[in-house]
Amino acid sequence: MEKAEVKSFGTPDEVREFPFGLIEITKIGGATVGRAVFEPGWKWSTSVQPIAKTKSCEAAHFQYHVSGTLLVKMDDGKIFECHAGDVSLLPSGHDAWVVGNEPAVVVDFQGMIDYAKPHVHS
């Protein structure tokens, strides 16, 4: 870290939209931080999977849940419910969806670099 920086999600470096949601990407101090807003009706497997073209979400997430409720189902079948005020660490291999009528807002410090970008096979 060489200098102090302050950035705002109000003026993100990039916005990626998908059905029932969006992420705002901010780059600061060599890191990429994303704020995701998932509206009621959002589910990774129907909103983002058609973009990512992977079996399940391959992004690992380290995130703070600002509002709303997300249900996360890992590929091994384990289920987690994440609420406002929670911090979650999710490895690659999961689906997730909004529970209830309130948008789920999360700030992710790890998994947003390639989130909701078309998957490129090498």
Structural domains in the chain, sorted by start: 14-108 (2.60.120.10)
Phi, psi torsion values for 45, nearest 5 degrees: -65, -20
DSSP-assigned states of every residue in the chain: --S-----TTS-SEEEEETTEEEEEEEETTEEEEEEEE-TT-BHHHHTHHHH-SSSB---EEEEEEESEEEEEETTS-EEEEETT-EEEE-SSEEEEEESSS-EEEEESSS-SSTTS-----
Q: Which of 22, 36, 30, 38 is nearest to 5 (CA)?
A: 30
User: Does pTM top 0.85 for this prediction?
Assistant: yes
pLDDT digits (tens, 9 = 90+) for 5-51: 999 999 999 999 999 999 999 999 889 999 999 999 999 999 999 89
- pLDDT for the residue 1: 59
pLDDT digits (tens, 9 = 90+) for 92-111: 999 999 999 999 999 999 87
